[in-house]
Structure 1
Amino acid sequence: MKAPPALSVIGWSGSGKTTLVERLVPELHSRGLRVGVVKHSSDHHPLHRTGSDTARFEQSGAALVAFATPAGVQLSVREEPEQVLLPLLERFGDRVDLVLVEGWKDGPLPKLEVWREGHGPLLASTRSDVLAVVTDAPRLPEGSPEGLQRFGTAELQGLAVFITRLAREQAHEP
Protein backbone atom coordinates (compact mmCIF):
# COMPACT_ATOMS: atom_id res chain seq x y z
CA MET A 1 0.00 0.00 0.00
CA LYS A 2 1.15 3.52 -0.77
CA ALA A 3 1.69 5.96 2.10
CA PRO A 4 -0.94 8.69 2.28
CA PRO A 5 0.02 12.26 1.39
CA ALA A 6 1.68 14.00 4.32
CA LEU A 7 2.52 17.59 5.19
CA SER A 8 4.69 18.89 8.04
CA VAL A 9 3.40 21.93 9.91
CA ILE A 10 6.55 23.68 11.11
CA GLY A 11 7.37 26.86 12.99
CA TRP A 12 9.07 28.17 16.07
CA SER A 13 7.83 27.30 19.55
CA GLY A 14 4.75 29.35 20.40
CA SER A 15 3.92 30.18 16.79
CA GLY A 16 0.57 28.38 16.84
CA LYS A 17 1.28 25.01 15.17
CA THR A 18 -0.82 22.95 17.57
CA THR A 19 -3.73 25.38 17.42
CA LEU A 20 -3.64 25.40 13.63
CA VAL A 21 -3.56 21.60 13.34
CA GLU A 22 -6.38 21.33 15.89
CA ARG A 23 -8.49 23.74 13.80
CA LEU A 24 -7.55 22.17 10.45
CA VAL A 25 -8.57 18.59 11.27
CA PRO A 26 -12.35 19.25 11.45
CA GLU A 27 -12.18 21.66 8.48
CA LEU A 28 -10.42 19.05 6.33
CA HIS A 29 -12.77 16.34 7.60
CA SER A 30 -15.74 18.46 6.47
CA ARG A 31 -14.19 18.34 2.98
CA GLY A 32 -14.21 14.54 3.02
CA LEU A 33 -10.63 13.89 4.13
CA ARG A 34 -9.74 11.38 6.83
CA VAL A 35 -6.86 13.10 8.61
CA GLY A 36 -4.15 11.48 10.70
CA VAL A 37 -1.93 13.57 12.97
CA VAL A 38 1.61 12.90 14.19
CA LYS A 39 3.39 15.02 16.80
CA HIS A 40 7.13 15.21 16.21
CA SER A 41 9.42 16.58 18.89
CA SER A 42 13.13 17.25 18.65
CA ASP A 43 13.30 17.29 22.46
CA HIS A 44 14.24 14.08 24.19
CA HIS A 45 11.59 13.12 26.70
CA PRO A 46 10.34 9.79 27.96
CA LEU A 47 7.59 8.10 26.01
CA HIS A 48 6.41 6.33 29.15
CA ARG A 49 5.70 7.72 32.61
CA THR A 50 8.56 6.99 35.02
CA GLY A 51 7.85 3.86 37.06
CA SER A 52 4.98 2.71 34.85
CA ASP A 53 4.84 -0.86 33.62
CA THR A 54 5.53 0.25 30.05
CA ALA A 55 8.58 2.28 31.19
CA ARG A 56 9.86 -0.81 32.97
CA PHE A 57 9.36 -2.91 29.83
CA GLU A 58 11.20 -0.28 27.78
CA GLN A 59 14.08 -0.19 30.30
CA SER A 60 14.31 -3.98 30.18
CA GLY A 61 15.35 -3.71 26.54
CA ALA A 62 12.08 -4.56 24.77
CA ALA A 63 12.35 -3.86 21.02
CA LEU A 64 8.89 -2.33 21.06
CA VAL A 65 6.40 -1.45 23.76
CA ALA A 66 2.67 -1.07 23.27
CA PHE A 67 0.05 0.29 25.63
CA ALA A 68 -3.39 -1.04 24.77
CA THR A 69 -6.70 0.08 26.26
CA PRO A 70 -10.31 -0.02 25.06
CA ALA A 71 -9.66 3.52 23.72
CA GLY A 72 -6.84 2.42 21.42
CA VAL A 73 -3.22 1.35 21.13
CA GLN A 74 -0.07 3.40 21.52
CA LEU A 75 3.12 1.85 20.18
CA SER A 76 6.67 3.04 20.78
CA VAL A 77 9.90 1.83 19.24
CA ARG A 78 13.45 3.09 19.76
CA GLU A 79 14.23 4.14 16.20
CA GLU A 80 14.66 7.39 14.32
CA PRO A 81 11.40 8.79 12.89
CA GLU A 82 12.73 8.50 9.32
CA GLN A 83 13.12 4.74 9.76
CA VAL A 84 9.69 4.16 11.25
CA LEU A 85 7.26 6.95 10.48
CA LEU A 86 6.95 6.76 6.69
CA PRO A 87 6.64 2.94 6.58
CA LEU A 88 4.12 3.13 9.44
CA LEU A 89 2.06 5.70 7.55
CA GLU A 90 2.13 3.38 4.56
CA ARG A 91 0.63 0.65 6.77
CA PHE A 92 -2.32 2.91 7.55
CA GLY A 93 -2.76 4.32 4.04
CA ASP A 94 -6.22 2.77 3.75
CA ARG A 95 -7.42 4.57 6.91
CA VAL A 96 -6.35 8.13 6.21
CA ASP A 97 -6.29 10.42 3.18
CA LEU A 98 -3.79 12.90 4.64
CA VAL A 99 -1.34 13.03 7.52
CA LEU A 100 -0.41 16.29 9.22
CA VAL A 101 2.88 16.08 11.09
CA GLU A 102 3.30 18.82 13.65
CA GLY A 103 7.00 19.57 13.61
CA TRP A 104 9.76 17.60 11.86
CA LYS A 105 11.45 20.64 10.32
CA ASP A 106 14.22 18.47 8.91
CA GLY A 107 12.00 15.63 7.72
CA PRO A 108 11.47 14.73 4.07
CA LEU A 109 7.91 16.05 3.79
CA PRO A 110 6.63 19.22 2.12
CA LYS A 111 6.00 21.90 4.72
CA LEU A 112 3.52 24.52 5.82
CA GLU A 113 5.09 27.15 8.08
CA VAL A 114 3.27 28.90 10.89
CA TRP A 115 5.11 32.18 11.46
CA ARG A 116 4.56 34.86 14.07
CA GLU A 117 6.58 38.06 14.33
CA GLY A 118 8.98 38.00 17.26
CA HIS A 119 9.19 34.19 17.45
CA GLY A 120 12.17 33.76 15.14
CA PRO A 121 13.09 34.26 11.51
CA LEU A 122 10.93 33.01 8.66
CA LEU A 123 12.06 29.42 8.05
CA ALA A 124 10.83 29.57 4.45
CA SER A 125 13.62 32.04 3.72
CA THR A 126 16.16 29.21 3.91
CA ARG A 127 14.03 26.18 2.97
CA SER A 128 12.76 25.36 -0.48
CA ASP A 129 10.33 22.72 0.84
CA VAL A 130 8.01 25.27 2.51
CA LEU A 131 4.94 25.53 0.28
CA ALA A 132 3.02 28.19 2.21
CA VAL A 133 3.12 30.37 5.31
CA VAL A 134 0.29 30.93 7.78
CA THR A 135 0.71 34.13 9.76
CA ASP A 136 -1.12 36.85 11.65
CA ALA A 137 1.48 39.40 10.47
CA PRO A 138 0.26 41.96 7.92
CA ARG A 139 3.15 40.99 5.60
CA LEU A 140 6.09 38.63 5.42
CA PRO A 141 9.56 39.95 6.33
CA GLU A 142 11.99 41.42 3.80
CA GLY A 143 13.85 38.75 1.87
CA SER A 144 10.96 36.28 1.86
CA PRO A 145 10.86 33.99 -1.17
CA GLU A 146 8.91 35.45 -4.06
CA GLY A 147 5.63 33.80 -4.90
CA LEU A 148 5.40 32.06 -1.52
CA GLN A 149 1.73 31.31 -0.79
CA ARG A 150 0.54 33.22 2.31
CA PHE A 151 -2.57 32.65 4.43
CA GLY A 152 -3.81 34.70 7.36
CA THR A 153 -4.48 32.75 10.53
CA ALA A 154 -8.21 33.46 10.06
CA GLU A 155 -8.21 32.10 6.47
CA LEU A 156 -8.89 28.52 7.55
CA GLN A 157 -11.20 27.69 4.64
CA GLY A 158 -8.75 28.95 2.00
CA LEU A 159 -5.94 27.03 3.69
CA ALA A 160 -8.09 23.88 3.77
CA VAL A 161 -8.75 24.22 0.02
CA PHE A 162 -4.98 24.60 -0.58
CA ILE A 163 -4.15 21.53 1.55
CA THR A 164 -6.96 19.44 0.03
CA ARG A 165 -5.64 20.21 -3.46
CA LEU A 166 -2.08 19.28 -2.40
CA ALA A 167 -3.28 16.03 -0.83
CA ARG A 168 -5.19 15.03 -3.94
CA GLU A 169 -2.20 15.88 -6.19
CA GLN A 170 0.17 13.86 -3.96
CA ALA A 171 -2.26 10.93 -3.87
CA HIS A 172 -2.15 10.70 -7.66
CA GLU A 173 1.66 10.87 -7.98
CA PRO A 174 3.30 7.55 -8.92
Structure 2
Amino acid sequence: MRPGRPSRPVSPGSWTGTGTITVWTDAVLSEAYLNLPNARVPLLGFAAYSGTGKTTLLKQLIPLLKSEGLRVGLIKHAHHEADVDQPGKDSHALRLAGASPVMLSTSRRRAIIMEHESPRDPVLDEELRHLDQCALDLLLVEGFKREGFPKIELHRTGLGHALIYPNDTQVIAIAVDEVLDPPPPIPCFDINQPRQLLDFILTRFLPDARSALVLR
Protein backbone atom coordinates (compact mmCIF):
# COMPACT_ATOMS: atom_id res chain seq x y z
CA MET A 1 0.00 0.00 0.00
CA ARG A 2 1.49 3.35 -1.02
CA PRO A 3 1.53 6.46 1.19
CA GLY A 4 -1.74 8.38 1.19
CA ARG A 5 -3.83 5.55 -0.24
CA PRO A 6 -6.66 4.37 2.05
CA SER A 7 -7.01 0.68 2.71
CA ARG A 8 -9.91 -1.50 1.67
CA PRO A 9 -12.61 -2.08 4.32
CA VAL A 10 -11.66 -4.71 6.86
CA SER A 11 -14.39 -7.31 7.26
CA PRO A 12 -13.02 -10.67 8.44
CA GLY A 13 -15.31 -13.25 9.96
CA SER A 14 -18.97 -12.68 10.77
CA TRP A 15 -18.55 -9.64 13.03
CA THR A 16 -17.04 -6.58 11.40
CA GLY A 17 -17.19 -3.96 14.13
CA THR A 18 -17.71 -0.56 12.55
CA GLY A 19 -16.48 -1.62 9.12
CA THR A 20 -14.45 1.58 8.93
CA ILE A 21 -11.31 1.92 6.87
CA THR A 22 -7.87 2.46 8.29
CA VAL A 23 -6.09 5.76 7.79
CA TRP A 24 -2.61 4.47 8.38
CA THR A 25 -0.18 4.21 5.47
CA ASP A 26 3.28 2.84 4.77
CA ALA A 27 4.65 6.25 5.74
CA VAL A 28 2.92 6.12 9.13
CA LEU A 29 4.18 2.61 9.83
CA SER A 30 7.66 3.61 8.67
CA GLU A 31 7.60 6.50 11.15
CA ALA A 32 6.63 4.05 13.88
CA TYR A 33 9.93 2.24 13.42
CA LEU A 34 12.16 5.35 13.24
CA ASN A 35 13.04 5.13 16.93
CA LEU A 36 13.64 1.38 16.71
CA PRO A 37 16.74 1.01 14.52
CA ASN A 38 17.33 -2.48 15.94
CA ALA A 39 13.95 -3.77 14.74
CA ARG A 40 14.52 -6.35 12.00
CA VAL A 41 11.06 -7.92 11.89
CA PRO A 42 7.54 -6.48 12.27
CA LEU A 43 6.63 -5.61 15.85
CA LEU A 44 3.04 -5.65 17.07
CA GLY A 45 2.01 -4.55 20.54
CA PHE A 46 -1.24 -4.85 22.46
CA ALA A 47 -2.38 -1.80 24.42
CA ALA A 48 -4.90 -2.44 27.18
CA TYR A 49 -5.83 -1.62 30.74
CA SER A 50 -5.49 -4.28 33.41
CA GLY A 51 -8.40 -6.72 33.39
CA THR A 52 -9.13 -6.38 29.67
CA GLY A 53 -7.98 -9.93 28.91
CA LYS A 54 -4.73 -9.30 27.08
CA THR A 55 -3.05 -12.55 28.12
CA THR A 56 -6.23 -14.53 27.41
CA LEU A 57 -6.37 -13.15 23.88
CA LEU A 58 -2.67 -13.74 23.23
CA LYS A 59 -2.99 -17.36 24.41
CA GLN A 60 -5.62 -17.82 21.68
CA LEU A 61 -3.94 -15.73 18.98
CA ILE A 62 -0.41 -17.14 19.17
CA PRO A 63 -1.42 -20.74 18.28
CA LEU A 64 -3.42 -19.38 15.32
CA LEU A 65 -0.38 -17.46 14.07
CA LYS A 66 1.80 -20.54 14.54
CA SER A 67 -0.71 -22.67 12.61
CA GLU A 68 -0.13 -20.36 9.63
CA GLY A 69 3.58 -21.23 9.70
CA LEU A 70 4.70 -17.97 11.31
CA ARG A 71 7.64 -17.94 13.69
CA VAL A 72 6.34 -15.82 16.56
CA GLY A 73 8.34 -14.34 19.42
CA LEU A 74 7.29 -12.23 22.37
CA ILE A 75 9.03 -9.61 24.49
CA LYS A 76 7.40 -8.60 27.77
CA HIS A 77 8.17 -5.66 30.04
CA ALA A 78 7.88 -7.00 33.59
CA HIS A 79 7.19 -4.38 36.26
CA HIS A 80 8.45 -6.61 39.05
CA GLU A 81 11.81 -8.28 39.51
CA ALA A 82 11.65 -11.62 37.72
CA ASP A 83 14.31 -14.19 38.58
CA VAL A 84 14.10 -17.11 36.18
CA ASP A 85 16.99 -18.87 37.94
CA GLN A 86 16.48 -20.87 41.13
CA PRO A 87 18.21 -20.04 44.42
CA GLY A 88 20.29 -22.98 45.59
CA LYS A 89 21.27 -24.03 42.06
CA ASP A 90 24.89 -23.77 40.89
CA SER A 91 23.96 -21.43 38.05
CA HIS A 92 22.26 -19.06 40.51
CA ALA A 93 25.27 -19.05 42.83
CA LEU A 94 27.70 -18.42 39.97
CA ARG A 95 25.58 -15.54 38.69
CA LEU A 96 25.57 -13.98 42.16
CA ALA A 97 29.34 -14.42 42.15
CA GLY A 98 29.52 -12.09 39.16
CA ALA A 99 29.18 -14.17 35.99
CA SER A 100 27.11 -12.33 33.35
CA PRO A 101 25.65 -13.44 31.07
CA VAL A 102 24.79 -16.91 32.29
CA MET A 103 23.31 -19.40 29.83
CA LEU A 104 21.18 -22.31 31.00
CA SER A 105 20.94 -24.95 28.28
CA THR A 106 18.81 -28.09 28.43
CA SER A 107 17.54 -30.62 25.92
CA ARG A 108 14.37 -28.55 25.41
CA ARG A 109 15.20 -24.88 25.98
CA ARG A 110 17.84 -22.23 26.43
CA ALA A 111 17.78 -19.23 28.75
CA ILE A 112 20.29 -16.39 28.85
CA ILE A 113 20.38 -14.26 32.00
CA MET A 114 22.13 -10.89 31.85
CA GLU A 115 22.50 -8.40 34.69
CA HIS A 116 22.14 -4.65 34.21
CA GLU A 117 25.05 -2.67 35.64
CA SER A 118 22.51 -0.58 37.56
CA PRO A 119 18.69 -0.72 37.92
CA ARG A 120 16.93 1.11 35.06
CA ASP A 121 13.72 1.00 33.10
CA PRO A 122 14.13 -1.22 30.01
CA VAL A 123 14.22 0.48 26.61
CA LEU A 124 12.64 -1.56 23.82
CA ASP A 125 15.25 -0.85 21.15
CA GLU A 126 18.07 -1.83 23.50
CA GLU A 127 16.33 -5.09 24.33
CA LEU A 128 15.91 -5.86 20.63
CA ARG A 129 19.69 -6.00 20.25
CA HIS A 130 19.77 -9.10 22.43
CA LEU A 131 17.11 -11.02 20.51
CA ASP A 132 17.79 -13.32 17.54
CA GLN A 133 15.28 -11.76 15.17
CA CYS A 134 16.58 -13.77 12.20
CA ALA A 135 14.57 -16.71 13.54
CA LEU A 136 11.29 -14.73 13.63
CA ASP A 137 8.56 -13.54 11.29
CA LEU A 138 6.69 -11.49 13.90
CA LEU A 139 7.56 -10.16 17.34
CA LEU A 140 4.70 -9.50 19.73
CA VAL A 141 5.31 -6.85 22.39
CA GLU A 142 3.63 -6.70 25.79
CA GLY A 143 4.29 -3.51 27.71
CA PHE A 144 6.61 -0.66 26.62
CA LYS A 145 3.36 1.24 26.05
CA ARG A 146 5.01 4.67 26.03
CA GLU A 147 7.28 3.73 23.13
CA GLY A 148 6.35 4.13 19.49
CA PHE A 149 5.54 0.95 17.58
CA PRO A 150 2.35 -0.46 15.99
CA LYS A 151 -0.26 -1.59 18.51
CA ILE A 152 -3.72 -3.11 18.62
CA GLU A 153 -5.88 -1.67 21.38
CA LEU A 154 -7.98 -4.08 23.46
CA HIS A 155 -11.07 -2.49 24.97
CA ARG A 156 -14.00 -3.69 27.07
CA THR A 157 -16.71 -1.07 27.43
CA GLY A 158 -17.95 -2.41 30.76
CA LEU A 159 -14.67 -1.53 32.49
CA GLY A 160 -15.36 2.18 32.03
CA HIS A 161 -11.92 3.14 30.71
CA ALA A 162 -11.33 5.77 28.05
CA LEU A 163 -10.15 4.61 24.64
CA ILE A 164 -6.40 4.69 24.14
CA TYR A 165 -6.20 5.30 20.38
CA PRO A 166 -7.03 9.07 20.42
CA ASN A 167 -3.79 9.69 22.37
CA ASP A 168 -1.59 7.11 20.65
CA THR A 169 -1.13 7.49 16.90
CA GLN A 170 0.52 4.06 16.72
CA VAL A 171 -2.73 2.22 17.54
CA ILE A 172 -3.70 0.71 14.18
CA ALA A 173 -6.79 -1.32 15.16
CA ILE A 174 -9.13 -1.99 18.08
CA ALA A 175 -10.46 -5.28 19.45
CA VAL A 176 -13.62 -4.50 21.43
CA ASP A 177 -16.61 -6.31 22.92
CA GLU A 178 -19.25 -3.87 21.62
CA VAL A 179 -19.64 -1.70 18.53
CA LEU A 180 -18.25 1.76 19.31
CA ASP A 181 -20.26 4.93 18.78
CA PRO A 182 -19.00 7.10 17.20
CA PRO A 183 -17.02 4.65 15.06
CA PRO A 184 -13.23 5.11 15.17
CA PRO A 185 -11.35 5.78 11.90
CA ILE A 186 -9.42 2.52 12.30
CA PRO A 187 -10.52 -1.13 11.97
CA CYS A 188 -12.53 -2.66 14.82
CA PHE A 189 -12.77 -6.37 15.60
CA ASP A 190 -14.57 -8.58 18.09
CA ILE A 191 -12.21 -9.16 21.01
CA ASN A 192 -13.81 -12.60 21.50
CA GLN A 193 -13.08 -13.68 17.90
CA PRO A 194 -9.27 -13.95 17.59
CA ARG A 195 -9.54 -15.27 14.03
CA GLN A 196 -10.63 -11.80 12.95
CA LEU A 197 -7.35 -10.41 14.28
CA LEU A 198 -5.49 -13.27 12.61
CA ASP A 199 -6.92 -12.29 9.21
CA PHE A 200 -6.04 -8.64 9.79
CA ILE A 201 -2.47 -9.46 10.81
CA LEU A 202 -1.90 -11.82 7.88
CA THR A 203 -3.50 -9.78 5.10
CA ARG A 204 -2.89 -6.20 6.17
CA PHE A 205 -0.42 -5.68 8.97
CA LEU A 206 2.43 -8.01 8.03
CA PRO A 207 2.71 -6.97 4.35
CA ASP A 208 2.59 -3.26 5.25
CA ALA A 209 4.93 -3.59 8.24
CA ARG A 210 7.57 -5.42 6.19
CA SER A 211 7.32 -2.68 3.57
CA ALA A 212 7.71 -0.02 6.27
CA LEU A 213 10.88 -1.64 7.61
CA VAL A 214 12.37 -1.45 4.12
CA LEU A 215 11.26 2.16 3.57
CA ARG A 216 12.71 3.65 6.75
Structure 2 residues not aligned, in runs of 5+? 1-37, 117-121
For 1:11 and 1:61, the matched residues in 2 are separated by 38
For 2:86 and 2:162, the matched residues in 1 are separated by 35
Distance 1:45 1:72, change over 3 A: closer
Q: Amino acid of the residue matched to residue 149 of structure 2? A: L
Matches within 5 A, 1:116-127: 116=156, 117-118=158-159, 120-127=161-168
Deviations 1:66-110 (A, max 9, x none): 222111111122343435422234x332x2211112222123321
* Number of residues of Structure 1 aligned to a counterpart in Structure 2: 169
| Greater C-alpha Rg | 2
| Aligned residue number for residue 86 of structure 1 | 128
For 2:185 and 2:61, the matched residues in 1 are separated by 23
Q: Which structure has the highest strand share of the two?
A: 1
Distance 1:107 1:152, change over 3 A: same
User: Given the alignment, which residue of 34, 49, 74 partners 1:37?
Assistant: 74
Confirm or deny that 1:106 pairs with 2:185.
Answer: no
Distance 1:14 1:54, change over 3 A: farther
For 2:89 and 2:72, the matched residues in 1 are separated by 31
Structure 1 residues not aligned, in runs of 5+? none
| Aligned residue number for residue 97 of structure 1 | 137
Deviation of 1:12 after TM superposition, in Å, equals 1.7
Matches within 5 A, 1:11-160: 11-79=48-116, 80-89=122-131, 91-93=132-134, 95-116=135-156, 117-118=158-159, 120-136=161-177, 138-140=178-180, 146-160=184-198
| Aligned residue number for residue 172 of structure 1 | 211
For 1:119 and 1:46, the matched residues in 2 are separated by 35
| Aligned residue number for residue 17 of structure 2 | none
Give the secondary structure class of the aligned counterpart of 1:125: helix
Q: Amino acid of the residue matched to residue 33 of structure 1? A: L
For 1:25 and 1:153, the matched residues in 2 are separated by 14
For 1:44 and 1:121, the matched residues in 2 are separated by 29
TM-score by length of 1: 0.80
**Identical aligned pairs, as a percentage?**
29
Contact 1:3 1:92 in 2 (8 A): yes
Query: Is the deviation greater in 46-55 or in 151-160?
Result: 46-55
Q: Amino acid of the residue matched to residue 107 of structure 1? A: E
